[in-house]
Structure 1
Amino acid sequence: MTPGKHPQEEERLRELRRYGILDTERERDFDEIVELASELCGKAVSVVNFIDDDRQWFKAEVGLGVRSTPLDTSLCGHVILQDDFVEIPDTLADPRMADNPLCTEEPGFRFYAGAVLKGANGLPLGTLCVLDHSPGTLNDTQRRVLKVLARQVMRELDLRLSLERETALRREIDHRVKNSLASLGAILAMQARRSDDPAVRAVLEEAGGRVRALASLHAELHGFDDGRSVDISSLFNRVETDFRQLLPKGIQLAITVKGDRASAELANALLLTVNEFVSNALKHGFPDGTGTIAARIAVNAEGWSLVCSDNGGADAEAADRAAAGAGLGTRVIASLAHSIGAQPAWCAVDGGMQLTLRGERQDDS
């Protein structure tokens, strides 16, 4: 007898496809379940199968040797229309299966027991079942084993679906944050260009620089699955490219990085510190409109360091003011340094300003 269609067949198939399990490769997680079911139930064959619209497809099997069979001969196609658990001691005594070639031809399946696999909406998707070539029965413990293992199959599938949803949601949020930061940066840049007030323009440009720095950090941070560490070389290559598009024509920028990855907290502080140093250098240095700004970042197993310098004309008095936190930029740098356990050291070197930060390597980097 050919299995009938479920009363909610279209909805059932939609639920099955929502799990994305059909035609996937064999996996040890599911193989172990059928091996355990076969062993504990003492039956030659065990499968995790799903009933598609025209076939019965096996995610895992032991003792069968195929990945799918036509729906016309499916034993489980009958079972998903019945109770949550079905046991058939002798298939040839069951009118649904008495003429099924899988049961009548040698070596046919004479015993069947299966626990239905149900989706989150309660509709049947397939079964975890055991089969044998001789009639028989299961004891209560074996029946319970099948039911528990069937629930385990669906827990695994539900967990995977939840993780996929979480990943998709995070990507959507990341995309929106990226667009928001880009829009905010563009608005600040546009307002800075339109302003006739030099002070207002300077504030907007500083704010825009910080937004661009955060956008760069966000792009790098969310390029990795762990969400906790950043490729600092890639991050500062991105930042250097952005800076060069905004620097006055006569100002050169050189950023060098030694090391691979840093914690998100450390990367954020280093990035914003470089951003503040560059902004301060442009604001207070280079009276003739030419010069160089450099930043050297190093991260290794022992610790990290950041050295920022320029040849913009600063003297010892300017370095003392910076150390005292006389300006907003230097106060921001002091706060950033404190957040990562460092103390900023300012000095006048070779006709310019130099800032040095050092600290121990963080555990999550």
Structure 2
Amino acid sequence: MAVSNQRQDDMREQERLETLREYRLLDTSPEQAFDRVTALVADLFDVPIALVVLVDDRRQWFKSVHGLDVPETPRDISFCQHVVVEERPVVVSNALEDPRFRDNPLVRDDPHIRFYAGVPLRAPNDAVIGTLCIIDRKAREAPDARGMQRLEDFAAIVMAEAELRRTAFQRDETRHMLERALDFSSVAIWQLDPDKRGLKWRGATAELWGGDYERLTTADAAMERIHPDDRDKVRAALDDAIGNGVPYSSDFRVLHPDRGVRWLAGRADWDVRSNEAVLTGINIDITEQKSRQENANLLMRELHHRMRNLFATVGAIISLTRHNSRDVEDYVDRISSRLDALNRAQNVLLGANFLTGSIHALLREVEAAFPRIRWEGPDLLLPENALVSMALLFNELATNAVKHGALSTEHGRVDVQWSQDDENVEQRQFRLRWTETGGEGEVIPPERTSFGTLLMERSVRNNLGGTIERRWEPTGLVCEISLPARWQEA
């Protein structure tokens, strides 16, 4: 039980010390508000000494001293520590007759205390941070109830002053913290006097308006920093807010002296003070949002264009395949194969930026569908139309290899190799070679030109501006393609 009580006492003392430090009174300069109280108390009780005492962990420090010339004394010999520990008023009529104090250095030596009366300085959380006390060098009777009540009333005045001081400090600290937060928040705060058209700035104004923002002391001066194409819009929104007493809202560009053209959003409403009204608002940088919006609009236009191209391609494939199919089953098979080729191209585009696709990514898709195809060459970025054309080309070659060529046998394979001429070569060419080996039987050209052949030739010649040549050698089909080298390496 004793251990538990000691722990509670220690926790109570820790809370008390934390409360004391919240007031930030220790070791501060004398203040008239507290000195006036000790002077009045000394006069009222006719004593030579009156003190406002703050009891720290190892000392008692005097915030206000009347009648002494020392700033503090050790806590272990202080009278006031008894008030703090007992959390109630303590009165000593004659210290020489009190066993607690008769051997105390403050009694035996200067200031030769005989009489002491102290009342708690109690914080709102009930913690006692110190005392208001009166001291005499001669013994005297304890104050009556009315006298003690007066002393406690003065203690309440001391605490009221301490609370005002703490509140002011917390307000200043909070204000400073908010100002620092605004500096880091990329938000500029402004106030506009509608009569004088004067501007005041706070927050991250330098970041949004420029390091010389202090020159922008009027609405007209700030207007000069706004992009000429946006000034009329901003001025109209501001005039509407001032003329009709409505909130202000506008998005506009500023000519930042260090960061170039930046987009800002401005929002404001009226703040009424006494008989005056000021327009208080904020600016935030929305350049990135505007950029994302423009990119999204561009992407939607590109997607719309691509979808139209895709539907046109699908429609052409369906129509031409229908005329070149032997029966319904053959038609479905050919359509499914060519739609798979389109799907491979779309997968590559979706995995990138919708606008370009990697030829390596495309060949990985082809290899997944036709596992015995091996490929080698630099990775290049193909625009959407070129990627679709190459996907259809590879699909027709691979499908024919499965039906009639190397991939129709267990041990056949296809090697795909490509390269681009050096950049210093005039009329640079992209060259691709499709080589089939390991097939069985005699390799001969087809008897008629199929739609697949036409599709390959149109993809290479019409869409890509190149040439295609096919040779049926004894080892298998060899297809060579040559195109203008327009594609960048990934």
**1:145 match:** 150
SS in 2 for 1:21: coil
* Pair 168,243 (structure 1): closer, same or farther in 2 beyond 3 Å: closer
One-letter identity of the residue aligned with 1:156: E
Q: Look up the SS of the partner of 2:50 in the other structure.
A: strand
3-state secondary structure, aligned to 1:81: helix
The residue number in structure 1 matching 2:89 is 85
Matching residue within 326, 331, 334 for 2:236: 331
Indicate which of 17, 38, 43 corresponds to 1:34.
38
**How many Å separate the matches in 1 of 2:176 and 2:244?**
28
Question: What is the letter of the counterpart of residue 281 of structure 1?
Answer: P
CA distance in 1, matches of 2:50, 2:14: 27
Matched, 1:47 2:51: yes
Relative to structure 1, the CA distance from residue 329 to residue 14 in structure 2 (aligned partners, 3 Å threshold; closer, same or farther) is closer
Q: How do 1:72-151 residues align onto structure 2 when only pairs under 5 Å count?
A: 72-105=76-109, 108-137=112-141, 138-151=143-156
Secondary structure of 2:44's partner?
Answer: helix
Question: Whole-Å Cα distance in 2 between the matches of residues 243 and 15 of structure 1?
Answer: 43
Whether 1:62 aligns to 2:70 is: no
User: Does the Cα contact within 8 Å between 2:186 and 2:207 map onto a contact in 1?
Assistant: no
Q: For 1:275 and 1:243, how far apart are their aligned partners in 2?
A: 9
Partner SS for 2:190: helix
- 8 Å Cα contact 1:85/1:115 also seen in 2: yes
Q: CA deviation at 1:276?
A: 4.5
Whether the 8 Å contact between 2:26 and 2:61 is mirrored in structure 1 is yes
Structure 2 residue 190 is matched with structure 1 residue 217: yes
Cα distance change on mapping 1:275 and 1:332 into 2, 3 Å: farther
- Length, aligned pairs only: 236
RMSD between aligned residues: 4.0
The corresponding residue for 1:306 is none
* Cα deviation code 1:113-158 (max 9, x no counterpart): 0111123332221110001011112233321221011111111112
**What whole-Å deviation, never above 9, does each CA across 1:81-111 have from its counterpart, x for those lacking one?**
2242121111122211111121133651111
- Cα distance, 1:274 vs structure 2: 4.4
Cα distance in 1, alignment partners of residues 43 and 132 from structure 2: 14
Q: Which amino acid aligns with 1:146?
A: L
Give the distance between the partners of 2:222 and 2:89, measured in 1 at CA: 65
Greater length-normalized contact order (CA 8 Å, ≥ 6 residues apart)? 1
In structure 2, distance between residues paired with 1:256 and 1:99: 71
1:312 paired residue number:
none
Report the Cα offset of residue 279 of structure 1: 3.9
Q: Residues 153 and 331 from structure 1, CA distance in 2 versus in 1: closer, same or farther, beyond 3 angstroms?
A: same
Note the residue ranges of structure 2 that are not aligned, 5 or more in a row. Answer: 1-5, 246-274, 279-490
Q: Is the 8 A contact 2:87 2:128 kept in 1?
A: no
User: 1:169 corresponds to which letter in structure 2?
Assistant: T
Aligned equivalents of 2:111, 2:207: Cα separation in 1: 71
Find the aligned partners of 1:95 and 1:26 in 2 and give their Cα distance: 34
Deviation sequence 1:161-213 (CA, Å, 0-9, x none): 2222223333333344444444xxxxxxxxxxxxxxxxxxxxxxxxxxxxxxx
The 5 Å alignment of 1:156-305 reads 156-182=161-187, 215=188, 217=190, 270-271=218-219, 273-276=220-223, 279=226, 281-282=228-229
Distance 2:132 2:16 in 1: 17
**Helix, strand or coil: the match of 1:143?**
helix
Q: Which amino acid aligns with 2:178?
A: I
Deviation, structure 1 residue 38: 0.6
How many Å apart are 1:20 and its aligned residue? 1.2
- Partner residue in 2 for 1:20: 24
Q: Unpaired runs of 5+ in structure 1? A: 183-214, 222-229, 246-252, 258-266, 285-326, 341-361
Distance 1:106 1:240 in 2: 61
Please say which structure displays the higher CA radius of gyration: 2
How far 1:336 moved relative to its partner?
5.0
| Counterpart residue number, 1:297 | none
* Code of the aligned partner of 2:161: E
- CA gap of 1:107–1:118, structure 2 versus 1, over 3 A, is closer
CA distance 1:21–1:244, change in 2 (3 Å): closer
Letter in 1 for 2:24: G
- 1:18 maps to amino acid: E
Once residues 239 and 126 of structure 1 are traced to their aligned partners in structure 2, the CA distance between those partners, rounded to angstroms, is 46
Tell me the SS of whatever aligns to 2:172. Answer: helix
CA shift, 1:256, in A, is 7.2
Q: 1:40·1:142 contact (CA, 8 Å) conserved in 2?
A: no
Match of 1:321 in 2: none
TM-score, normalization by structure 2: 0.42
Judged with a 3 Å threshold, the aligned counterparts in structure 2 of structure 1 residues 338 and 18 are, in CA distance, closer, same or farther, namely: same
What is aligned with 2:452? none
Deviation at 1:332, TM superposition (A): 2.0
Q: What letter corresponds to residue 143 of structure 1 in structure 2?
A: M
- Cα distance in 2 for residues equivalent to 1:57 and 1:109: 17
Residue 249 (structure 1) aligns with: none
Q: 1:165 corresponds to which letter in structure 2?
A: Q
Report the CA distance shift for 1:128/1:364 in structure 2 as closer, same or farther (over 3 A): farther
Between the aligned residues of both structures, percent identity stands at 28
**Contact 1:280–1:329 under 8 Å retained in 2:** no
Q: CA deviation at 1:364?
A: 9.6
Q: Given the superposition, is the C-alpha separation of residues 104 and 148 from structure 1 closer, same or farther in structure 2, using an over 3 Å criterion? A: same
2:126 aligned partner, one-letter code: G
